[in-house]
């Protein structure tokens, strides 16, 4: 994906993109890892926070976004 394509991805909800470079994220259960672009990392972090607070509509929107935009990462981290 090009930088322009990444910049133009619509996020599923308001979330802060704090990182400027991709980061490796590890599945806490399987130990598998994948590299997430900054926008995907922000969505992932928001999903995890929403899970803790029972905000299931936002979790669902985030999961749907991952399935569409980051299918490999979805299978590694969220499936």
What pLDDT sits at residue 76? 97
Both tokens of residue 78? 């969220």
Mean pLDDT of the chain, nearest integer = 93
Distinct helix (H) and strand (E) counts, the chain? 4, 2
What pLDDT sits at residue 62? 98
pTM, entire model:
0.90
CA distance 18 to 75: 24
Residue in the block written with tokens 């926008």:
39
CA distance 22 to 54: 28
What pLDDT sits at residue 8? 72
> What tens digit of pLDDT does each residue of 31-65 get?
999 999 999 999 999 999 999 999 999 999 999 99
């Amino acid at each position: 994906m090009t930088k322009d394509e990444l910049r133009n991805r619509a996020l599923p909800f308001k979330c802060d993109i704090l990182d400027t470079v991709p980061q490796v994220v590890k599945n806490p259960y399987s130990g598998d890892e994948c590299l997430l672009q900054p926008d995907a990392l922000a969505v992932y972090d928001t999903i995890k926070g929403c899970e803790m607070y029972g905000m299931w509509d936002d979790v669902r929107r985030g999961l749907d976004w991952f399935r569409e935009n980051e299918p490999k990462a979805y299978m590694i981290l969220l499936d």
